[in-house]
Amino acid sequence: MTEDNRDSTGDEAGAVSPWSAHGGAGAPAAPPGESGDRASAGEQGPGRMESGPLATGEQGPGAPGAGHSAHEHQAHEHQAHEHQASEHPAGDPSTGGSAAYGTGETPVPAHQQQWSPWAQQGQGYGGGGVLYGSAVPHHSYAGQNVATPFQQPQQAQQATAPKRSGGLLVAIFLLALVVGGVSGGVGGYLAADSAGGGSAPFALNTPPTASQTGSAPAGSVEAVAQKVLPSVVQLQVVGRNSAGAGTGFIISGDGLIVTNNHVVEGAAAGGRITVVFQNGRTAEAIIVGRDPTSDVAVVRARSVTDLPVAELGRSDDLRVGQGVVAIGSPFELAGTVTSGIVSSLNRPTRAGGEDGSQATVLDAIQTDAAINPGNSGGPLVNMAGQIVGINSAIYSPTSSATAQGGSVGIGFAIPINQARRTADEIVKTGKATQTVLGVSVQDAPQGTRGALIAEVVGGGAGEAGGLKQGDVVTKLGDRRIESADALVAAVRSHAPGDKITLIVGDNNTVEVTLGGQPVEIK
């Protein structure tokens, strides 16, 4: 089964498949590495992207400059006021004062003016501010110097204090001492009270909590991360016309790493692959083998030994609702851990590959653990820290040829049982074998469910089992077959030589021994 010959009239133009990552007709062509259009039905497989833009520097909010330069008046005895007004008229340079700045008010001498550390020579520091995370100079006003918070401005001319009697000066001085003492006492009390001296609880006075010293609870996300992270790597891939990044996990101490085919296929024709380990070390890698039909590839890191190896679990006993953890490098953020559940099983998903055709349909695990561009090739792990899938695709309604989508809680992973068989073949022979039924299929006519046998390959497994052109397969074993992709995915979840039972129509049973064929790589 290598072809989908579905009739294009069977789908409404522009319809979105519930398993697709993009809209149908009219959507922009996907870039290399993303799932392509279904040629006959205008549908696409789930978008999957292995790399993301580098994180860029961020800035905090603008903080407007503090302080002002508004002068504050101080009341004086009536006699002193009259004495000042008569001896130093407004604008008299001997006082350092200026013309009245408020209607009906008398200017305050410079020696009595209060200077704000943020004031700019008599003008408010407004109309701008400091952006945290960026270097923004202080604003300067025309013909003026810039005041700094740590330097008192030099007065152009020292103001001359008005003459007062000795007794009056003593009285004012004593009053100032009394007021200053009371103010200081009140201020000290308020400061002590606000620092927890009163009865109100104050968090800053409590000592820090004890450091975490115990082990992570078994079965927790923390325990899974501690166990699996050392065996997960980032793969930086540079091809002739592209560059990107994805994820992989180590399966041997001497450098064998499993990932997605679509992560490394850009380097297959003379590119470069760099492995970045969790401890920051790097190594160059070569492709051992790859399989676009299952979206699995194996690479080997050069000149490395004693690497931590991941533990492989099994995917045939997964249950909907059980907890899982995804680990990868979303948007090149290496070592990112997210968690969720198994949302669904046996989900037919087009994971892309070289052309995004039916040749890359997966029998995927669906999860709501956050998976984003760059997670591709990374492990989906059960709560025992065992790898049960390889994260490969996401449903992303906003992705396009010019913009990458992100997680909306619908991600897809290749079941580890299928990926393990493929990886083992690649390691042993450098090639993979594809499981085939020996027929080409398309969706059943509108209004019915199942996979329509469009063609039977002579001498193939289907012909030997008695399948005929025009048959509609509705079940494989205990699994209902709703579409052509569902049959393809179900067949590929088995290995060559496996015996399966098909239900044709309502109740006709056909026994088939599945065949296999070498995967041809373009």
Of 421, 394, 248, which Cα lies nearest the Cα of 328?
248
Segments in 198-345 forming alpha helices (H): 221-228, 261-264
Long-range contacts of residues 465-468, Cβ cutoff 8 Å, at least 24 apart = 465/502, 465/510, 465/511, 465/512, 465/513, 466/510, 467/437, 467/439, 467/502, 467/504, 467/510, 467/512
Q: Are 387 and 381 in contact (CB under 8 A)?
A: yes
**E strands along 293-377, which residues?**
296-301, 323-328, 336-350, 361-367
Q: Which residues pair with 244 in a beta bridge?
A: 237
Cα(317)–Cα(415) distance, integer angstroms:
11
Helix (H) or strand (E) holding 277: none
Contacts of 30 (CB under 8 A, 6+ apart): 22, 36, 37, 44, 47, 356, 401
**E strands along 141-264, which residues?**
232-238, 243-250, 256-259
Which amino acid does the sequence have at 283? A
Contacts of 235 (CB under 8 A, 6+ apart): 245, 246, 247, 248, 257, 259, 263, 264, 273, 274, 275, 276, 285, 299, 377
Cα(289)–Cα(353) distance, integer angstroms:
14
Active site residues: 262, 295, 376
What are phi and psi for residue 70, nearest 5 degrees? -70, 130
What are phi and psi for residue 42, nearest 5 degrees? 70, 25
* Exposed / middle / buried, residue 40 (Cβ in 10 Å: 0-12, 13-18, 19+): middle
